[in-house]
Amino acid sequence: MAEKVGFISTRFAGNDGVSLESAKWAEVLWDFQHISYWFGGKLDRHSDVSMCVPEAFFGHPENLWINERIWGKRRRSPLVSRRILEVAAYLKSSLYEFCRKFSLSFLVIENALTIPMHVPFGLAITEFLHETAIPSIVHHHDFYWERDRFSVNGISDYLDMSFPPQLQEMQHAVINQSAREQLAWRKGVPATLVPNVLNFEDPPAPPDSYCADVREQIGLDEDDVMILQPTRVIPRKGIEHAIELVEQLGDPRYKLVISHEAGDEGMEYADTVRELANKADVDLRIISTRIGEFRHFNSKGQKVYTLWDLYQHADLVTYPSLYEGFGNAFLEAIYYRVPMVVNRYSIFTRDIEPKGFEVIVMNGIVTQKIVEAARRVLENEEYRNKMVDHNYRLAERFYSYRVLHNKLKNLISDVTGV
């Protein structure tokens, strides 16, 4: 039976994990003939199937004012409490309007009841669900207890109430095993493990004419080797290890290309990365101005490419992250059949590595063994092809849309009783 599904979050726009994974969920829900609708403070979904309420965005000035007064504090003022509840009341009324407008059957809450970037919105969703008893699946990406910046706060009552809440008509989904265990221990809530996925049943098309000149456009020569760091420039990505690897490879043809800038976490680490690369005599290219969410031409008449265009031309991916909730770049590199150097961050070690993927694994340091393994992958085409083909087959088994289809089928049955 076809259902109308409402996706709710602070933002569905861009290439962040929540926006990307929710789009995949909606695509797979269409297999069941379920139609998806979208509610958020920032949206790139079509207006015919969405409702944008700017106050729901975590970057809205009202929410930023509240955040400045609740994090890093042990108490909050009556004024802050009043403002939180006023914003929550407005957002709750908007949720009622959203559900009436599209006659929704059940909801998927994407991370808005998980990480408290927008506390009033979390309260609004919780109260709305209590009042309506509408069935919901709460998709958790990263919990507040996984982030140091939320450890000192003046809203422990709100965190207990809404991040996440416990409701009979609610099913919980998490993206890694550790999150499932922590949720059970801290909240007494069972959850289904639903890993991030890609459509491995449908391999990527060969590079087309638009992206044929990517390497030339970012300044690489024909015989240069592109070592791609497909992340933002933030400390937990461990980019200093990628620089060290390229330095120890010791070949001027090897160029380190970083796809994204620092974003909203400051430029200090980005400046440090550039300084490290300069001292190591590593040719570093941060090409964020040439990478966008979709292909287009910028104001200078230059092509702007997508991250997927970069993967099509990369020779090696570096992924030396210190922490990831899951690791979308890992799946993306496998999908585009690019070999990888991966640091053994905790979720990789526990959830991904036991599956048997063939990647170059490092334990926090770049050893000579790692360097030689990377050199072999780059210089031995037959060995490289066997590695990436093996990884693709494994990912198709464990991280494909078919896996997500089966997980969602069970969750929907549990939450709707159908």
First to last CA, the chain: 9
Fold that domain 214-398 belongs to in CATH: Rossmann fold (3.40.50)
**Closest among 26, 9, 15 to 405, alpha carbons compared:** 26
Local confidence band at 293 (pLDDT 50, 70, 90 cut-offs): confident
**Closest among 116, 125, 129 to 155, alpha carbons compared:** 116
Answer yes or no: same fold for 4-197+401-416 and 214-398. Answer: yes
For residue 284, the Cα-to-chain-centroid distance in whole angstroms is 24
Buried b (16+ CB within 10 A) or exposed e, 176-196: bebbbebbeeebebebbebbb
Local confidence band at 392 (pLDDT 50, 70, 90 cut-offs): very high
pTM score over 0.95: no
**DSSP letter string, 83-121:** HHHHHHHHHHHHHHHHHHHHT-SEEEEESTTTS-SSHHH
Report whether pLDDT(1) > 80: no
Mean pLDDT of the chain: 95
Question: Phi and psi dihedrals of 327, rounded to 5?
Answer: 125, 70
**Residue type for position 256:** L
Q: Across-strand partners of 139?
A: 110, 173
CA–CA separation, 333 and 387 (whole Å): 12
Please write the tens of the pLDDT for every residue from 198-219. Answer: 999 999 999 999 999 999 999 9
Sign of CA dihedral 206, 26, 124, 91: positive
Please write the tens of the pLDDT for every residue from 362-384. Answer: 999 999 999 999 999 999 999 99
Q: What percent of the chain has pLDDT over 70?
A: 99
Please write the tens of the pLDDT for every residue from 265-281. Answer: 668 999 999 999 999 99
pLDDT of residue 135: 96
**DSSP letter string, 301-313:** S-EEB-HHHHHHH
Sign of CA dihedral 94, 100, 102, 107: positive
Report whether pLDDT(356) > 90: yes
Report whether pLDDT(190) > 60: yes
Report whether pLDDT(285) > 80: yes
CATH architecture of 4-197+401-416: 3-Layer(aba) Sandwich (3.40)
List the chain domain ranges.
4-197+401-416, 214-398
pLDDT of residue 263: 63
